[in-house]
Amino acid sequence: MSGQELVRELSKEIGKLKKERNAVILSHLYQRPEVQDVADFVGDSLGLARQAAGTAAEVIVFCGVHFMAESAAILSPDKIVVLPDEHAGCPMADMVNEVELARKKREMPDATVVCYVNTSAEVKAESDIACTSANAVKVISSLPEDKPILFVPDKNLGSYIASKTGREMAVWDGFCNTHDRLTADDLMKAKAAHPSAMVMVHPECRPEVVGMADVVASTTGMIRFARENSAREFIVGTEMGILHPLHKQCPDKHFYMASEKLVCPNMKKTTLEKVRRALADLEPRVDVSREIRERAVRCLDRMLEI
């Protein structure tokens, strides 16, 4: 059986199992193309969790990484949430834990704790308000100016927020292993190779890279920008999985990766076979305790109110 035949066969089995399980399949934009293609919803992590919460599905299959599945479990406590690969984690999310955060909070008792959604449920439970890469500037701008801010865990996103808001923040020393690989030298080479292309980068990139971009946006923001902008060529400074939806939504435009290093190994752990197995076995499950969920959901709700 050829590779394409195997993809078709697995996709057919997944579609059948999905109906039997009354399941919804979510795929982050960094997933493999064939995984994105079997999903009901493709997008950013929190947006996907919110979409799933609004469905009548009894099962959520989250093709992403662990903190994303946790967010779905927080917003859909009555649904079964499964993550096709239990080892699909996020190194940046692991750079802060609830014990370390609680210790820092004791050092800064007056601080408002803002957590990026790329954090564990336990960290969200210790935080006052969450943010996404798309709304981070708006969230920080909404906070009282007379109170200190502790931002976790991404120092690069924190630097971007500070540059846009002028707010001073204590920023955790974390970063995305994938986005942080992109250097100014990499981007200069890409610009030299494609001088007519507009540069789009994610705010998780290094400050010097962000400073070279024409637009800084979340993954869905990049897709929207490319779709609506009149430019025909774009250099892409985020994980390579985004190329699949970019080509689908903008078939007449050209996209070039800013670096071939922009590959997240955790996002690529999910395969169609693992999706099929997750639907068949309803494993591995991702659960969030009631106590943690009730505290974490307040953090997310406060963000959604802004």
The whole-number pLDDT of residue 299 equals: 95
Judge contact between 246 and 226, C-beta under 8 A.
Answer: yes
CATH 3.40.50.10800 fits 179-257, yes or no: yes
Looking at this protein, which amino acid is placed at residue 256? Y
Judge contact between 261 and 181, C-beta under 8 A.
Answer: yes
Residues 6+ apart with CB under 8 A from 32: 241, 268, 270, 271
pLDDT at 143 over 80: yes
CATH code at 93-175: 3.40.50.10800
- Among the listed residues 117, 120, 94, the one whose alpha carbon sits nearest the alpha carbon of residue 48: 117
pLDDT band of residue 1 (cuts 50, 70, 90) is low
For tokens 């994980």, the residue is: 239
Residue 110: both structure tokens together: 């007056």
The helix or strand, by DSSP H or E, that contains position 198, with its residue range, turns out to be: strand 198-201
What percentage of the chain has pLDDT greater than the value 90? 96
> How many Cβ atoms from other residues are within 10 Å of residue 226's Cβ?
23
Fold match between 3-89+267-287 and 179-257? yes
DSSP state of 28: E
1.10.3720.10, 3.90.1150.10, 3.40.50.300, 3.40.50.10800: CATH of 3-89+267-287? 3.40.50.10800
Q: What is the pLDDT of residues 60-77, one digit of tens each?
A: 999 999 999 999 999 999
The whole-number pLDDT of residue 6 equals: 86
Predicted structure pTM score: 0.95
Provide the residue ranges of all domains of the chain, joining segments of one domain with +.
Answer: 3-89+267-287, 93-175, 179-257
